[in-house]
Amino acid sequence: MANIEFGTALPGTDKTAEFARRAEELGFDYLGCGEHVMFHGPVGNTFISLSVAAGATHKIKLISSIVLLPLYPAALVAKMGSALDVASNGRYNFGVGIGGEFPKEFEACGVPVKQRGSRTNEALEVISRLWTEQKVSFAGRYTTLNEVTIEPAPVQKPRPPIWVAGRKDPAMRRTATYADGWLPYMYTPEQLHDSIEKITAYRREAGRDVESFIPGVFIFTATHADGDTGREMVATRLGRQYAQDFSKLAGKYALAGTPEDCRKRLQEYIDAGAKMVMLPSACPADYIEENTRLIAQEIIPAFR
């Protein structure tokens, strides 16, 4: 069986160190954390939370899932990402997305929502250079650098892995041009298969290596001995998190049901080409610990 890596994500804004240690003990390859400036409920910051996780762990890889890149100056992200890679001794993975589903945070940060794609593309070019070069000069639409060097540089060479999230063609082209991995969410196996084929073609067009590209997917998960309970957990949690009705969407975009149900559905994503799978919990707070354990011990081993 092909070597497939699995991750989970921090479920909230507290007990970060404890959850990170437990994820490492359970054998997850990655620990992820997303972010928003503000959203439909409490949410953390990926750099801050992963820094806490870095100090509490030794080997689990850390991945921003994802940085809302257009909300930051590119040089500031380059500095924070490099600092986190150094602090974690080379365990940081830089996942990025353009956001836009919560326009008020763009307004609050003084960034026009319509510029989020172009800002992200320019930032990825700038950050890649700042992580691999010294005395970088750059004159772009949003960024001006005059012989800028980020010190200390990242531990990982040539730089931390870059992952791009999204669901649409511009995100696939962004992945092909700038990234090492693809990390969509709210995605079906069929969509994953099609996007991998497109990104592979775009990478060839860009003259980039196809073999090193890592297709991934981020799938909210709730598993329970009673399948209906698992499905209800996902629909309720995601409905609250994204302020919309997920009763008909949960079965399409999430892993939900008994461990066997989840293994069967996950196999479809593996067959579609996934080589890295994030399985964050989508369940009540008092069930997260058990859900995470079941994912690690009842679902993932079938694919090791």
Q: What is the per-residue pLDDT for 12?
A: 92
pLDDT at 1 over 70: no
For 240-266, give the DSSP string.
HHHTS--TTTHHHHSEEESHHHHHHHH
**CA–CA distance, 52 with 239 (Å, rounded to integer):** 29
Mean pLDDT score across all residues of the chain: 96
**Mean pLDDT calculated for residue range 120-133:** 98
Assess contact for 170 and 117: CB atoms under 8 A: yes
CB under 8 Å to 209, separation ≥6 — which residues?
203
pLDDT at 201 over 60: yes
pLDDT at 200 over 70: yes
Residue 4: count of CB within 10 angstroms of its CB: 17
The tens digit of pLDDT for each residue in 89-119 reads 999 999 999 999 999 999 999 999 999 999 9
**Mean pLDDT calculated for residue range 204-218:** 96
Percentage of the chain with pLDDT > 70? 99
The tens digit of pLDDT for each residue in 11-48 reads 999 999 999 999 999 999 999 999 999 998 899 999 99
pLDDT at 247 over 80: no
Please state, in angstroms and as integers, the Cα–Cα distance from residue 124 to each residue in 48, 65, 73, 219, following that order. Answer: 20, 16, 11, 25
CB under 8 Å to 284, separation ≥6 — which residues?
233, 236, 237
CATH code, 5-121+155-303:
3.20.20.30
Residue 117: count of CB within 10 angstroms of its CB: 18
Q: Provide the residue ranges of all domains of the chain, joining segments of one domain with +.
A: 5-121+155-303
Percentage of the chain with pLDDT > 90? 93
Whole-prediction pTM value? 0.96
The tens digit of pLDDT for each residue in 57-78 reads 999 999 999 999 999 999 999 9
**CA–CA distance, 274 with 196 (Å, rounded to integer):** 9
- Report CA Rg, the chain: 19
pLDDT at 270 over 90: yes
**CA–CA distance, 151 with 83 (Å, rounded to integer):** 9
Q: What is the per-residue pLDDT for 2?
A: 62
Quick one: pLDDT band at residue 221, thresholds 50, 70, 90?
very high
